[in-house]
Amino acid sequence: MTSRACLFGVVLAIAANAQPTIGNCNVFPANSVWNAPVDTLPVAANSLTLTTSVGLSKTMHADFGSGLYQGAIIGIPFVTVAGTQTKYPVSFDIADESDVGPYAIPLNTTLEGGSDRHAIAVDTDNCILYELWAASPGSNNWTAGSGAIFDLKSNALRTDGFTSADAAGLPIFPGLVRYDEVASGQIQHAIRLTVPNTQKAYQWPARHYASNNTSTSVPAMGQRFRLRSNFDVSTYPSDVQVILRALQKYGLIVADNGSAWYISGAPDSRWDNSHLSMLSKVLGSDLEAVDDSVFMVRSSTGQAATCDSNDDGVVNATDVQAALNRILTGGSCGLLDLDGNGACSVVDLQRVINKSAGGPCKVGP
């Protein structure tokens, strides 16, 4: 029998999962569905139907940029605040589905233009995200349509059926394209997407719908899309290439009703709008819907699980060894926590072994 000491000696280099950050905070755990690559997932069986409903000839649009458009900033702004930021009470129109608060959003926070008027703040000391929809500041308080508070250290989702500051009941900030991450050369998360028509339905990780349309030919809230792998990104400027590669690897999540193939980002004076406009060369026919249900451990958590520990596209002895090492050392199981019990166990190990032998990667309790 192989000794414990020998097993410790076979410590393989396991690549850390890519993870976006803001200040000193990770934007959700490494195994969040927001941070999970979808480039190797199967195409959804109804992909063509869904992309056709949004528009095969419709062009992609960066709904963010520099400067002003019709007097308003371009994109969804956010601010970072310290843990000492004053927290203000909020009066909600949809109080029964909103987090009570108070909210650490400064009253002079720049709001998104248009009717959505999102107000977003990230407490980078405590890693807490505060988001409001249809927000208006008062002298010492906010009024808003709805709002939600997210612990960036947790994969917890909203209560099933609850909205947030977004129609899908999801956080907004994790899906924004930010200038600093593009400048770093890598976006490491899915991107927020709007489409004109959605179902009266939602799918994991979404928690809420905003439609009376019962047709299954249109996307549900939470539907994941991606840019096809054979789309040639090499002819685009380097900053746009970063966005396109993220669309291929991490894809898009339908989060709200709006214009077709509009992707969300934060406004920044450093954006080159002429470069961003080149995203209009991407057509709906260049996109495909994917089936990310294989990630779901259980519907109440945004944790994404996979048997591929190092994201190299195959499950083999390296992944088996990774699971074994983590069991022996008591380390975090990360994506290999396949049964979602918070620990590495022989159940997780057996599932990785089964997948490496050609079987399915079983995820869930």
Residue 334 pLDDT: 72
For 194-251, write each residue's pLDDT tens digit. 999 999 999 999 999 999 999 999 999 999 999 999 999 999 999 999 999 999 999 9
- How many folded domains does the chain comprise? 3
Same domain, 249 and 273: yes
Last residue of a domain, one of 129, 145, 171: 171
> Are residues 151 and 95 part of one domain?
yes
The length of the chain is 365
Of residues 113, 81, 106, 45, the one with CA closest to residue 266: 113
Nearest to 208 by CA among 146, 149, 161, 159: 161
Q: Are residues 251 and 346 in the same domain?
A: no
The range of the structural domain enclosing residue 87 comes to 77-171
Q: Which residue has the higher pLDDT, 208 or 296?
A: 208
* Tens-place pLDDT, residues 265-283: 999 999 999 999 999 999 9
Residues 232 and 93 reside in one and the same domain: no
Q: Is residue 202 part of a domain?
A: yes
Question: Is 251 among the domain residues?
Answer: yes
Give me the chain's average pLDDT, please.
91
The pLDDT assigned to 16 comes to 40
In a domain, 180, yes or no: no
Token readout for 179 is 């200038």
Q: What is the largest CA-CA distance in the chain?
A: 72
In the prediction, which pLDDT does 4 show? 32
Coil, strand or helix: which one is 156?
Answer: strand
Q: How much is the average pLDDT of 52-63?
A: 98
The predicted model gives 293-313 an average pLDDT of 83
pLDDT of residue 18: 58
pTM here is 0.86
pLDDT value of residue 85 = 98
Confidence at 364, pLDDT banded by 50, 70, 90:
confident
Report the percent of the chain where pLDDT is more than 90.
76
Q: What's the pLDDT at 30?
A: 82
Please determine, for residue 298, whether its predicted confidence score (pLDDT) is greater than 80. yes
Indicate the pLDDT class of residue 311, thresholds 50, 70 and 90: low
The DSSP H or E segment spanning 80 is: strand 79-81
Percent of residues, the chain, with pLDDT higher than 70: 95
Query: Is 269 inside a domain boundary?
Result: yes
Is 50 exceeded by the pLDDT of residue 332?
A: yes
Does 260 share its domain with 333? no
Pairwise CA distance, residues 182 & 117, whole Å: 25
Question: Are residues 65 and 199 located together in one domain of the fold?
Answer: yes
Helical segments of 300-345, H only: 317-329
